[in-house]
Chains A and B, each alone.
Chain A
Amino acid sequence: MFQGGNATVYVRDMDRAVAFYSKTLGFRLTKRFENFWAEVDAGAGLTIGLHPAGHGMEPGTKGGVQVGLIAAKPLEEIVKTLTGRGVAFEGPIVDGGEAGRFVSFADPDGNPIYVWEQTALSKAEGREAAATKSGAR
């Protein structure tokens, strides 16, 4: 049903956040789509995604860090399967255009999780990351 994911951190300033996660902490920047999305590889078991705040996600508050899961099948099927297992989804599937489609729910404690159905573009690595691939380590 899922094929990996990331811990998504919502930030106010993408350049500042990318500098912190890549230069200060020393992680490799693997994707950067301008100010829409960036990913750093923190090593075994952890990719950190960086996304600008907005849409009700405020940095440093509840929902400022979310579990992101990547869909391995169409979102409608996943929603159907999980609804059948008692999961309550928050709102409809959101179409993010080139970025893909998204749907959100919470775990039994109310901790936020989203599922991301990627497009060919959002699977790619983005120009800036490719250019800085040697990266600060």
Chain B
Amino acid sequence: MIHGGNATVYVSDMDRAVDFYTKTLGLKLEKRFGNHWAEVDAGPGLTIGLHPASDKVGVKPGQQGAIHIGLIVTMSIDEVVKTLRSRGVAIQGPVLDGGDSGRFAFLTDPDGNPMYLHETPWASRGAKDRKPVEKSSAR
């Protein structure tokens, strides 16, 4: 139903954030799609996703919700939402269509900690079609 994901950190300046996580902390930049999204590999068990803060997501960097757990669904997000609802999970609002970036649904754990489900378009079409814009390997 779900396989893998990342800790998504919302930031105010993508270049500054990518610099910090790669050059300052020495982690490896895995993906960068312009100023829309970047992924940093922190080693076993942790991928850090960087996303610009926006009113659409409703989170501000350094505030509550500025770090979300992102979960990648392995089937239709509608099915996953249906299954989780049947298990008593409150999904916030409808499934959001992010166009090229896929579809998303937001929820919280029993303590109100924020997470989201992500149906990636590249999972079905093949991730190799979408090459990262730039790569670095500061380690």
Contacts and interface: CB of A to CB of B under 8 A. Distances in A.
Interface of A: 1-7, 9-13, 16-17, 20-21, 23-27, 41-48, 53, 59-62, 64-70, 82, 85-87, 106-112
A46 B45 CA distance: 5
Given A2-B26, A2-B43, A20-B110, 16 more contacts: A2-B27, A4-B45, A45-B4, A45-B5, A46-B45, A60-B108, A62-B66, A64-B113, A65-B68, A69-B42, A69-B46, A86-B24, A106-B62, A109-B9, A109-B66, A111-B62
Contacts of B68: 65
A-B interface, 5 closest residue pairs, ranked by CB to CB distance from nearest: A110-B62, A60-B112, A59-B111, A109-B61, A47-B45
A48 to B, nearest CB: 6
Given A20-B109, A65-B7, A25 B2 contact: yes
Contact of B64 (A10, A60, A67): A60
A29 to B, nearest CB: 14
Interface of B: 1-7, 9-13, 16-17, 20-21, 23-27, 41-48, 61-72, 84, 87-89, 108-114
Contacts of A66: 67
B63 A46 contact: no
Nearest to A68: B46
Contact of B111 (A5, A12, A47, A82): A12
29 contacts: A1-B26, A2-B26, A2-B27, A4-B44, A5-B42, A7-B46, A11-B110, A13-B111, A23-B87, A24-B87, A25-B71, A26-B1, A44-B72, A45-B6, A45-B41, A59-B111, A60-B112, A62-B63, A65-B113, A67-B9, A82-B24, A87-B24, A107-B21, A108-B13, A108-B16, A109-B17, A110-B66, A111-B11, A111-B62
